[in-house]
Structures are given as C-alpha cells and as structure tokens.
Amino acid sequence: MADIKSVRLNAADGPPNVEITIGHAQFGKYELQLFDTDGRNPVVVGSGLSHDKLPDNFQIDGDPRSLNGRFLSWSANIIPAAAGANQQFSLTVNVRQKNRDVAGSPIAVQGALPGAHVEFGFVKLEVG
Amino acid sequence: MAAKWLVPMLAATWLLLPAAAECQQPSDTFRSAAEMELKVKNAVADLTVPESPAFAALGLSPETIIRPATPREFATALLNGVDRSGHVQTGLAIEVAPYLVYAGSRVTLSDYRASRVTQVLSHTTASFATTKASSDEDKTVRLALGVHATLYDSEDPRLDNDQLLNCYADMPVFRPLVLPVSPDLTVRAQQERQLAEDRRTFETSVLIPGVEACRTKFQRNARWNGTSWIVAVAPTWIAPTGLAGDLDGGSLAAWTSLSYGFDSVPGLQNNAQVTGHFRHLSNELVTDAALAGGKETRETTIAGVRFRAGTTGFGLSFEASYIRTAAAGRADDTSSRLAFGADRRLADNLWLTLSMGGDHGVSAGTPSGLSMLGALKFGLSKDPSITDEQLRKLIAAPK
C-alpha cells in the first residue's frame, strides 16, 4: 500500500497556485480536482490541454486554512504525439505559494509511453 | 549496335506488356532477374544519413543499444564505458536524445509547436560506440561519438495536426469519485485496488478505443516524399593500448541530405522527391596489403543526387553520384555512377521492373585508371524495387 504524499502550505502565504506540465512534447488533456478530507466529493479546480496556448496553472482561491486535510488530484490522458519506439512521457505538478514551490512540491512522474495512457495521482494538503 | 535497339525494345515491351502479363506468375527466371536487379540496386551509392552516426563510423550494427531516458541512466551508461583501471569497455552502444533527457519534462507540446529550435533540439540524438580489434593480441580500441540532427522535416507528426488533437481533446478524462485515503488500512487497500481497476477499465474501454477512432478519422498521412534536411557528424578516436588515457584522434565523418518534396506543387507534391547528399570522411586509416607501405590515410568525398517519383502503380528513380578519394603520395581517385530504375505494377504482387546502372572511374587493374561498367536488368518481381521498400522505410522512419 502506497504512502499518501502530502504538500505543506503556509497559512500566511496566501492562496496556492498549482501548475501541471505534461512534457516530452506529448499530447495531454488534464483535470485538477479538489476532494474533501475523506477523499470524496470532488470539485474540478482546473483543466486544460498541453498543446494550446492557455496557461496550465490555476490558483485555488480562498483561505489556505480551508484546504487543510483536503486532497488535490490530477488526472491526465497522455497520448503519444508521434509514432516510433522509445516514446517517453512526464507529468509534473508544482504547488506554489508566493511563486515558490512548497514543501513536497514538485511531484513528478516519468515513464515509457508505448500507447495512450491515463496518469492519475493525488496529494494531501497540509496547512501549517 | 545491338544495345542501340535493346533499350527502346525493352522499354516498348515494358509499356505494352501489362495486359498480357497479368496472368503470369513469378517463376525462377523472374526471381533470378529480380536478384540480378537487386545487385544493381545495391551497387547504387547509399545517399542516406545514418540514424546513429557513431555506429556507422565504426561499421557496427549493434544488437543491444542502451537508450537512457533519464539523466541518471545516461550518466550510468557513460560511467560504465570505462572500468576502474581506465580501460575503455568495448561493445558499448548508446543512443540518446540529450535535450529530451535533460529538459524533456519541461517541453510541452505547445512549446514544441511554437519553437523551431525546440523541434531541432528534440530531434537531435547522440550516439556513442566502442569496438576493439578483431584479434585477441591487439588491444586497440576504437571509439566514436556521433550527432544526428533533423534540421527541418515537413512531415513532423507533431505539427499541422489540429484536427487530430482536437479529437483527442474531446475525450473525457478519468474521474474517480473516491480516493484511497481511508484511515482503515484494510479499506484503503481495497480502495486502491478499486481505483487501479477503474483506471485500467477507463484506459482500455474509453481512452484507447477513442484514440484509435480519432487516428482513423483524422491522422494525417505522412508523405513519403517529404521535405527535410538532416545532418550528422561522427569523430572517432583510437586507443592502441585500450586505455582511455591513450585515446588519440582518428577519423571524422560528416553527412548531410537535403530532400525536397515539391511541397504545394500540384501534380508533384505527393508523387516526387529530389534528394541531394554530401558525405565526407577525413583522416581514415586504411590498411591494405596492396597499398604501398601497407596502409594510407585517406580523404573520401561522396556527393550524389537522386530523383524519385511514384504512384501506387508506377515508380521511377534516377541517381547520380560522384566519389573522390585522396591520399598522400598518389593521384586522386575519382569515379561517378549513374543508375535508373522503373517499376510498373501489372497486377497485385506482380511488378515489371527495369533498371540500368553504370560506373565511370578508376580501376586499379587498368593502367589508364579508367573503366566503364554497365548493367541493364529487366524482369518481373513480386515487389516493386523503388516504391516499396525504400518508401516504406522512409515513411516508417521515426521523426
């Protein structure tokens, strides 16, 4: 059973900003969701595409203290943008306050991408 | 005199025969003709740039190639190239895209599509190979480092494919309703299993079929005759003792190919391509008992041009190449080669093939230093000699 990863927010540093980067020039469609403290009732807080010109970062508005114990998840469809062997994918989530990564950020995954792939992960938000 | 009539006669037969030949099957005679034709094809100068210049510079076709995907894997592969006593490890073959290894996680598809420099860097690969002398007594180790870069590619599948990407974008993403975070570890383990199962089910029943449907509908078929510019270079070093500290300069090989696919030219844009190729190999040490002193250091230059045109039932190819070899203490050797080939499909799996080739240049056995070689091949084969294998390789080549 995997440990639950967490990122540590500072209550005094204002609303956190979450950026998701789907690298290796692969196609990616993603959603960021915020779950409540028992891992239910998801709410979409951001979504986007890796090939458009829109920014891939989202501010989670409100008092950071209201996020304590909640879970931030990301889900992405990652599809090879070119044919050929040895295709790789990477997904990086940066959680920042005051433009600096908070403790536990970034969260990065990388691997081979032989075909279309669903990448899903989450972290617990801890506010100190 | 006979040759004067032979070519037009065969050409006329080649044009008129299709209807009569549709019922014929390839026989041993035809197979033999195809084999002879293959020899002519093989004699034509190779005008391609090697994908892995280091392997080409050492004349290797390694069965196992290490392809590191992370900086750690890359560093490990390089460190394994030299043992603790400083000996270069032989039989090593590494191929890597350095930019993607070190910066790939920050290169989004949007960045790639917006920047020509990013495209070139992403398509630049480095290769590294070592080999040792064939005899056990000889401890000489040869080492090559190669760089291969695609400076332009009109058929880059990451570009000009908005319809396909929009189709991908219309697919839903996986949305679990519950996260595996229960404080009860037994429940949490069950939640994790359920999440993994749901993710797999979404991937196999929604995402993968959706991607296939999008590709079927919108995937842009790459032209076999795209416009591209590829360059490659590979210096080699030699260590007579096998020690990394004794590595000394060897040869330097450089290749470039520029292909033009008649982009936006009606009638030709899907059917024709002209390719110019240049290759230079400097400081190549050649050992040969027939040479004065048993060896010499050569400079070799090859230049060539090729025109290819084809449809589903017809193919045409013309190649001309020039080779110059220079070495200290003797006159330069030069030779040129012309080759022409044509295919016409008679029926499914039955192609009528015509090919001609000729050399003009130096022959060591001729005091004048000149010789003429010619060949004319005519026959039936199961596959076209021009439009099939060469073009399939071109289309299948990773961009």
pLDDT in tens, B235-246: 999 888 878 778
Cβ separation of B107 and A39 shorter than 8 Å?
Answer: no
Cβ separation of B70 and A110 shorter than 8 Å?
Answer: yes
Q: Which residue of A has its CA nearest to B155?
A: A82
Q: Identify the CA nearest to A13 among candidates A105, A91, A80, A123.
A: A105
Cβ separation of B105 and A29 shorter than 8 Å?
Answer: no
Cβ separation of B181 and A38 shorter than 8 Å?
Answer: yes
Cβ separation of B105 and A52 shorter than 8 Å?
Answer: no
Cβ separation of B174 and A120 shorter than 8 Å?
Answer: yes
Tell me B106's DSSP state: G
Of A98-112, B72-86, B88-102, B103-117, give the lowest mean pLDDT range: B72-86
pLDDT > 70 fraction of chain B, expressed in percent and rounded: 78
How far CA B352 is from CA of B25, B314, B325, B344, B391, in Å, comes to: 12, 10, 37, 5, 18
Of B106, B181, B188, the CB nearest to A21: B106
Q: Which residue of A has its CA nearest to B192?
A: A1
* pLDDT for residue B382: 60
Please write the tens of the pLDDT for every residue from B81-94. 777 777 778 888 99
| Cβ atoms B166, A49 nearer than 8 A | no
Cβ separation of A88 and B104 shorter than 8 Å?
Answer: yes
CA distance A54 to chain B (A): 9
Higher per-residue confidence, A108 vs B39: A108
**Across B108-122, average pLDDT:** 97
Q: Identify the CA nearest to B220 among candidates B156, B269, B173.
A: B156
Q: For chain B, what is the mean pLDDT?
A: 80
Whether the pLDDT of residue B27 is over 50: the answer is: no
Which band of pLDDT confidence, cut at 50, 70 and 90, is reported for residue B385?
A: low
Of A25, A33, A86, the CB nearest to B158: A25
pLDDT > 70 fraction of chain A, expressed in percent and rounded: 99
Which band of pLDDT confidence, cut at 50, 70 and 90, is reported for residue B374?
A: low
* pLDDT for residue B377: 61
Could you tell me which residues come within 8 angstroms of residue A69 by beta carbon, excluding any fewer than 6 positions away?
A: A37, A124, A125, A126
Put simply, whether B117 touches A (Cβ < 8 Å) is no
CA distance B313 to chain A (A): 27
HSE, CB side, 13 Å, CA atoms: give it for residue B349.
Answer: 5
H/E element, B125: strand B124-132
How far CA B192 is from CA of A105, A119, B266, in Å, comes to: 23, 15, 58
Cβ separation of B207 and A25 shorter than 8 Å?
Answer: no
Q: Which of residues 192-221 of B touch A (CB under 8 A)?
A: 192, 195, 199, 202-203, 207-208, 210-211
CA distance B135 to chain A (A): 35
Q: Which residue of B has its CA nearest to A51?
A: B110
Cβ separation of B69 and A53 shorter than 8 Å?
Answer: no
Whether the pLDDT of residue A1 is over 80: the answer is: no
Whether the pLDDT of residue B17 is over 60: the answer is: no
CA distance A11 to chain B (A): 23
Put simply, whether B110 touches A (Cβ < 8 Å) is yes
Cβ separation of A50 and B110 shorter than 8 Å?
Answer: yes
**Across A20-28, average pLDDT:** 97
Beta strands, E only, B215-349 = 228-239, 248-260, 272-287, 295-310, 314-327, 333-347
* pLDDT for residue A73: 98
Higher per-residue confidence, B315 vs B368: B315
Of B30-39, B124-133, B138-147, B379-388, give the lowest mean pLDDT range: B30-39
**Across B337-360, average pLDDT:** 82
Put simply, whether B107 touches A (Cβ < 8 Å) is yes
| Cβ atoms B44, B319 nearer than 8 A | yes
* pLDDT for residue B45: 58
- The reported pTM is 0.81
Q: Which residue of A has its CA nearest to B203?
A: A118
Higher per-residue confidence, B296 vs A96: A96
H/E element, B145: strand B141-153
**Across A80-106, average pLDDT:** 94
How far CA A51 is from CA of A38, B152, B289, in Å, comes to: 34, 20, 60
Cβ separation of A75 and B173 shorter than 8 Å?
Answer: yes
Cβ separation of A42 and B181 shorter than 8 Å?
Answer: no
Of B168, B175, B208, the CB nearest to A42: B175
Put simply, whether B108 touches A (Cβ < 8 Å) is yes
d(CA B381, CA B5): 24
The angle that helices B162-169 and B208-218 make with each other, rounded to 10 degrees, is 150
Put simply, whether B4 touches A (Cβ < 8 Å) is no
Put simply, whether B79 touches A (Cβ < 8 Å) is no
Q: Which residue of B has its CA nearest to A49?
A: B169
| Cβ atoms B217, B167 nearer than 8 A | yes
B335-368 burial: b if 16+ Cβ within 10 Å, else e:
bbbebbbbbbbbeeebbbbbbbbbbebbeeeeee
Q: For chain A, what is the mean pLDDT?
A: 95
d(CA B344, CA B108): 45
Cβ separation of A75 and B174 shorter than 8 Å?
Answer: yes
**Across B291-315, average pLDDT:** 87
Higher per-residue confidence, B97 vs B394: B97
Whether the pLDDT of residue B7 is over 60: the answer is: no
* pLDDT for residue B378: 62
Of B108, B174, B189, the CB nearest to A25: B108
What's the token pair of residue B152? 């332009």
ipTM for the predicted complex comes to 0.94
* pLDDT for residue B9: 44
CA distance A10 to chain B (A): 23
Q: Identify the CA nearest to B357 among candidates B372, B375, B344.
A: B375
Using an 8 Å CB-CB cutoff, list chain B residues near A116: 203, 207-208, 210-211
Three-state SS for B47?
Answer: coil
* Chain A, chain B: beta-carbon pairs less than 8 Å apart: 139
